[in-house]
Structures are given as C-alpha cells and as structure tokens.
C-alpha cells in the first residue's frame, strides 16, 4: 500500500471523489483534446497539400512509402506496444505503491526504448534501399525516385529516437490525467512539418516556370522529409515541461530485467507484438498493392485515407485517451458496471456523430478531394482516384471510430491477447481481400484501388463486431432493448439525411458544371460542400431532435463545457 494514504478508508474516499467528477472531467477533456488534435490535423492537411502540389508521381510515392510504411509505422507500433502494457501498470503502481516506485519502471522502460530505437534508426540508414524495395516494389520501375526515397528515409531515420520516444512522456502524462500538453505536442509536430517544408521549398527548391505554369524539381519532395525530422524531435521536447515537477524521480537506467514490474510489462507484450506485426503487414501490403497498381496510385490511395482520418484522429482518439486511465482504475477496483456504462456512452456518442458523417462523405467524396488537394500537378484523374478511396473508406467510419477505444476495455483488464489476436486474424483478411482485388478481380486502376480501400473497411468493421461480442461477457449489465431503440432512431435520422443529400447533389451538379466560378474548381467544390454539410446537418439534427435522441443534448452540453474551459485556459495563458 502506498504511503500517501494511511488507511483503506482514505483511499476509498479518494476513489469516490475521483468517480464523482469522472464523467464531467472525461467529457470536458475530450472536447479540449479534440480541439488541439483538430488543429494538428488541419496542419497535417497543410503537409498533404504541399505534397499534392508536387503531383502524384513515383517521387511522392517514394516519400509516402518511406514515411507511412517505415517512420510513422514504427512510431505507431511503439505506441501500440506501450499503451496497453505500460500505462495500466504505471497507474496501478502510482496508486498502490507511490510515485517513486512507478517512476522506477518509467525510467527502465524509457532507457530500454531509447536503445532499441537507436538500433532501428541505424538499420533504416544502413538498409534503406532494401527496406523500400520490400514495402514498395513498384518503386523499382523508377531508379531515380527509388534513390530519392533512400535519401528521404535516411533523413527521417534520426527522428525515430525522439519521435517514437515521445510516446513515453505522453503516456505518463495521461496516467496523471493530463491530456492537453500531449495534444499540443501533436499539433506542434504537424505545424513544424508544414513550416519547415514550406521554408525549404521556397529557399532551396523554389518553383521554376515553364509553359506558363509553376513547376518544382523532383528533389523538392526532400523538403517534407526534413520537416518530419524537425517535427518529430519537437513532439518529444514539448511534453517535458508537463513533467518537470516529476523528473527528479527519473533515473538513468535501461535495466528492464532487474525490475519485477518492468518484467511484467514485457510479459504482456508478446500478444501485442503479434498484433503489431500483423497490422504492419497490412500497412506494407497496402503500399505494395498501391505501387504495383501504377504510378501515383499509392499517393492517391493515401490522400483518400487522409479525409476520414481528419475526423477519426480527433474526437475518437481523444475519447480513447481520456477514458483509459479511468478504466484502468475501475478494473483494479473490480467496478464492472462503471465500465459497462462508459462503453455504452462512448459507443452511442460515436455512432451519433460518425454514422451520418460516413454517409455524407460518401456522397461528397469528389468535391472534398477537389477542395483539399486538386492544385498544381495534381490532376482531375488523380482527384477521381482519391475520391474512390474516400468513398470506400467511409462506410467503416463508425467502426474505425470505436476501434481504438474498445481495445482499452480489454487492456484495462490487462488482457492484451484477445484484441491483438483478433486484430491479427482480420489483418490477414484485409491482405487477402486486397490481394484478390488487385491481382485477380480488379480490371482497372480504379477498381483495384477500390478493393484495397474496401479491404480495410470490411476487415476492421468485422474485427470491431467480434470484439464487442467478446467484451459483452466480461463487463456489467447492458440494457440491449434500449440500445436497439437508439439504433432504429439513428437509422431513420441518417436515412432522411442521406435522401436529402442525394437529392441536393442531383439538383446542384448541372448548375455547378455550367457555373463560371471566379475561383475556378475550388470555389465550386467549396460551395458544393458548404451546401451539402449545411443541409445534411440541418436534416439530421432536426430529425434527431424530433426523435428525442438523447445524445444530441449530451454532445452539445459537453461541447459547451469544453469550450468554456478551453477559453479559460487560453485566457490565463494570455494573462
């Protein structure tokens, strides 16, 4: 028992005090984090727009393969390894044995991670070419683009040390229920990538003019690689101030085998590692499929994925971050009813937001791609391919939104086997569907790209359904009849919205085609999207209010509280 509490009664009183404000604190924190994550995603789209201005070519494919399939994959897999294993153990030790004991584990895990990441960075530098050929075989068709990819991978490799290491301060801050600074660091990472990229583009790789249009040299893509290097390092450094009062407890060590809790964390990792390896296989398969389909196709596929990700890597990510420490505490205390209530609340909130959003994105997939990406050397054909990606990713939006959160319920029970083995099985399903679609069923670049995107929607949706059925047996009682009524109401509201949007698109399309807009294609796309989302939101929210869907008032109230708290924080910072 930790020294901070003298009796079990005092510990119980502290738990009751935390539970009394848990719902309100989680709601407000989720809104604040979402705001910063949204800012980061907007800056991330700035990076994608910079890349799109360079066209969809083997050169941009090379960057996408090097960043998505190597650098960012390693970062996300480190996070996936540590979040389910390290955070619950840190929370448990801090609660039961005190901060000093918890920080001994944090120190050992940080030192061990630093050594491991250093080795991985060195491997990426030395074996850059064979790594790229393995995950993007199609790059071999253009030796110049392949060589640029090798240079970019070597430029970005050192960022692995601090970029991936930034997961440790992030998780530690989350264990203390401090969520804002990690979200600020994520936004800072994306902001730095854009600023460094644009600075280098206009200083080192400026535009050259030919046939009355701007054109940048093929080496201009290097600017984005240097941006990733700078942003990755900054993501780590920005989080350290939040731990200044605790860093005195940090010890310089990497002896994970000499600490029983660190060994316990490592013991939980093998099933997580299996899941990580299979999800990495899925990422590599997509890059292989995309580069094999044709030049620039993988870039278009990735652009299509980025549109749903704008909505997925904000609120759902914030919810999964915020709820996890509370779930870990409730699991330690055996309070399964609280876990059941939290699951129902989170799932219904995500369904209320993301089911209608998925339908809307399917209908306006082409206008949104035109608005965000179509400029410079990114052609109408490229836009049509990317829009197909949006169309086929969008049906899985709700399932994508709850996937990260539902894993946390299992991890709170220190069950790393069930979600990861299930994920590994459906990663194989993804690869099989993608392979058949690209090499057997698909007859054109459009159909093959569609199969690769649909593979993710089918496999992830199936995985989430299976996980929900397995989790249902392990938590408290859920009123299924009440949830069926909610599902029927939601289906009616979304159906009305979908019909309204379809009719609106049919009426607008011929008028927009004939309109000579002063700003060209982007103004047309903006008008199209503004009208569609305004009408869609009005119909859906009106129907939800008429049907008395309670999530409408809950979401509005949480947003109001979050905005008030965020405004107060910003006001204090100005003072």
pLDDT tens string 144-179:
888 888 999 999 998 888 888 898 999 999 888 888
Please report, in angstroms and rounded to a whole number, the separation of the first and last CA atoms in the chain. Answer: 41
Residue 214 forms beta bridges with which residues?
209
pLDDT digit string, tens, across residues 73-104: 888 888 888 888 888 888 888 878 888 999 99
pLDDT at position 210, please? Answer: 40
Q: Which of 109-113, 265-269, 384-388 has the lowest mean pLDDT?
A: 265-269
Using one digit for the tens of pLDDT, what is the confidence trace for 457-480? 999 999 999 999 998 888 877 888
Q: Is the pLDDT of residue 274 over 80?
A: yes
User: Is 318 in contact with 183 (CB distance < 8 Å)?
Assistant: yes
Q: Of all residues in the chain, what percent carry a pLDDT higher than 90?
A: 26
Q: Cα(512)–Cα(112) distance, rounded to whole angstroms?
A: 58
Q: What is the mean pLDDT of the segment spanning 397-411?
A: 88
Confidence of residue 404 (pLDDT cuts 50, 70, 90): confident
Q: Where are the alpha helices (DSSP H) in 157-296?
A: 159-165, 167-175, 180-203, 222-237, 260-293
Band of pLDDT at residue 427, cut at 50, 70 and 90? very high
Per the CB < 8 A criterion, the answer to whether 28 and 567 are in contact is no
The more confidently predicted of residues 49 and 399 is 399
CA distance 194 to 173: 26
Tokens 């240097």 belong to 226
**Phi, psi angle pair for 210, to nearest 5°:** -145, 130
Residue 15 has pLDDT above 70, yes or no: no
* The residue to which tokens 């829009």 are assigned: 387
In the numeric block, the tokens 């609280």 are attached to 338
When pLDDT is cut at 50, 70 and 90, the band that residue 45 belongs to is low
- pTM for this prediction: 0.71
Average of per-residue pLDDT across 128-145:
85
Supply the pLDDT for residue 5.
Answer: 43
Q: Give CA–CA dist 214/210, Å, rounded.
A: 7
Write out the two tokens for 181. Answer: 């600074």
| pLDDT tens readout for residues 224-273 | 889 999 988 899 999 999 888 888 888 888 888 888 998 988 888 888 88
Is the pLDDT at 208 greater than 50, yes or no?
no
Sign of the four-CA dihedral 535, 539, 545, 551: negative
Token digits for 399? 């399932």
80 phi, psi to nearest 5 deg: -70, -30
Give me the mean pLDDT over the 484-495 stretch.
93
C-beta separation of 133 from 44 below 8 A: no
Q: With contact defined as beta carbons under 8 Å apart, do 329 and 411 qualify?
A: no
Q: Which residue has the tokens 């179509």?
A: 374
Q: Are 296 and 373 in contact (CB under 8 A)?
A: no
- pLDDT at position 397 is 93
Environment class of 209 (CB within 10 Å of its CB; exposed 0-12, middle 13-18, buried 19+): exposed
Return the SS3 of 339: helix
What SS3 string covers 106-174? HHHHHHHHHHHHHHHHHHHHHCHHHHHHHHCHHHHHCHHHHHHHHHHHHHHCCHHHHHHHCHHHHHHHH
Residue with tokens 């040299």: 217
pLDDT greater at residue 536 or residue 60: 536
């Amino acid at each position: 028992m930790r020294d901070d509490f003298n009796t079990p009664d005092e510990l119980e009183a502290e738990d009751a005090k935390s539970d009394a404000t848990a719902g309100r604190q989680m709601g407000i924190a989720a809104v604040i984090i979402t705001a910063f994550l949204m800012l980061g995603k907007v800056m991330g789209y700035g990076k994608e727009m910079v890349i799109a201005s360079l066209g969809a070519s083997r050169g941009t494919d090379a960057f996408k393969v090097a960043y998505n399939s190597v650098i960012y994959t390693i970062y996300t897999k480190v996070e996936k390894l540590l979040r389910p294993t390290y955070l619950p153990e840190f929370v448990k030790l801090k609660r039961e044995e005190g901060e000093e004991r918890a920080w001994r584990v944090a120190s050992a895990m940080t030192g061990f991670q630093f050594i491991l990441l250093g080795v991985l960075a060195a491997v990426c530098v030395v074996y850059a070419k064979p790594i790229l050929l393995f995950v993007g075989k199609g790059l071999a068709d253009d030796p110049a683009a392949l060589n640029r990819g090798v240079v970019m991978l070597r430029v970005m490799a050192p960022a692995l040390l601090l970029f991936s290491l930034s997961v440790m301060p992030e998780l530690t801050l989350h264990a203390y229920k401090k969520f804002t600074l990690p979200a600020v660091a994520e936004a800072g990472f994306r902001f730095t990538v854009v600023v460094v990229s644009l600075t280098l583009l206009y200083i080192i790789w400026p535009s050259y003019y030919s046939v009355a249009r701007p054109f940048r040299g093929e080496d201009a893509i290097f600017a984005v690689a240097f941006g990733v290097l700078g942003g990755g390092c900054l993501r780590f450094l920005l989080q350290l101030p939040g731990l200044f009062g605790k860093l005195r407890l940090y010890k310089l060590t990497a002896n994970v085998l000499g600490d029983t809790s660190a060994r316990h964390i490592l013991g939980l990792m093998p099933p997580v590692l299996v899941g990580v390896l299979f999800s990495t296989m899925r990422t590599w398969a997509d890059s292989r499929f995309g580069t094999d389909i044709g030049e620039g196709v993988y870039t278009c596929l990735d652009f299509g994925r980025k549109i749903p990700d704008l909505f997925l890597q904000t609120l759902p990510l914030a919810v999964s971050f915020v709820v996890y420490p509370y779930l870990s505490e409730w699991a330690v205390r055996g309070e399964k009813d609280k876990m059941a209530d939290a699951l129902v609340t989170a799932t219904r909130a995500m369904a209320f937001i993301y089911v209608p959003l998925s339908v809307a994105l399917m209908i306006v997939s082409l206008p949104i791609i035109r608005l965000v990406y179509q400029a410079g050397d990114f052609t109408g054909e490229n836009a049509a391919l990317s829009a197909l990606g949006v169309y086929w990713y969008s049906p899985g939006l709700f399932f994508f939104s709850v996937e990260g959160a539902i894993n946390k319920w299992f991890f709170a029970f220190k069950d790393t086997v069930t979600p990861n083995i299930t994920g590994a099985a459906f990663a194989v399903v993804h690869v099989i569907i993608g392979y058949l679609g690209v090499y057997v069923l698909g007859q054109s670049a459009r159909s093959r790209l569609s199969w690769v995107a649909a593979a993710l929607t089918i496999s992830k949706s199936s995985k989430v359904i299976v996980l929900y059925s397995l989790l249902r047996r392990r938590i408290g009682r859920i009123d299924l009849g009440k949830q069926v009524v909610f599902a029927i109401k939601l289906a009616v509201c979304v159906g009305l919205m979908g019909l309204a949007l379809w009719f609106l698109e049919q009426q607008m399309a011929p008028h927009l085609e004939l309109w000579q807009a002063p700003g060209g294609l982007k103004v047309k796309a903006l008008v199209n999207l503004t009208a569609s989302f305004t009408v869609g939101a009005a119909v859906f929210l009106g129907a939800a209010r008429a049907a008395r869907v309670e999530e409408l008032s809950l979401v509005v109230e949480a947003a109001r509280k979050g905005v008030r708290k965020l405004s107060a924080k910003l006001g204090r910072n100005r003072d």
